[in-house]
Structure 1
Amino acid sequence: MRDFFYGIQDLFENVLFVPLEALRFTNSWWISNIINVIFIAIGFAAFFYWMKQMKKYDQEEKDDYQPII
């Protein structure tokens, strides 16, 4: 079981974080934070899509609710 978690650690440290290590030593603020800008854009797109779906659901909903007395 220990080897499994060390394998995950190795994957993240030696493979997935290599692009971030390259960006770490750049002198440009925009290049260093481009990943954050991309995540913020994805978050806004998902939020507006969700709001659009909620509006569509709200318009389709019929008031058939009858409380149990």
Structure 2
Amino acid sequence: MTSFFKGIEDLFVNHLFWPLDQLRHMHSWWGANTLNWILMAICFAAFVYWMLQLKQYSDNDEEDKSISSHSYL
């Protein structure tokens, strides 16, 4: 059973995390943080898209009245 877990360790440490180890040992801060900048840009774009959709929903004065937590409606 230990060989199974050692195989999983080998897969992650020596193969799947290899690109991240290469980024960690770079001498350039910008090069090492490129992945972080890309992920931050994607999250910012998703946030802006979500806010624009909420504004569009609010501007159309749409409200879902079919869902209610009150039984007296």
What TM-score do you get using the length of structure 2 for normalisation? 0.66
Any stretches of 5+ residues in structure 1 without a counterpart?
none
Classify 1:54/1:9 alpha carbon distance in 2 versus 1 (closer, same or farther; 3 Å). Answer: farther
What TM-score do you get using the length of structure 1 for normalisation? 0.70
Any stretches of 5+ residues in structure 2 without a counterpart?
66-71
CA distance in 2, matches of 1:35, 1:50: 23
2:56 aligned partner: 56
Residue 17 of structure 1, CA deviation? 1.1
Classify 1:48/1:26 alpha carbon distance in 2 versus 1 (closer, same or farther; 3 Å). Answer: same
Higher helix share: 1
1:1-69 map, 5 Å: 3=4, 6=5, 9-60=9-60, 61=62, 68=72
Query: RMSD across aligned C-alpha pairs, in angstroms?
Result: 2.7
Deviation per residue, 1:16-46 (Å, 9 max, x gap): 2111111111100000011110111011001
Q: How many residues align?
A: 66
**Identical pairs, percent:** 50
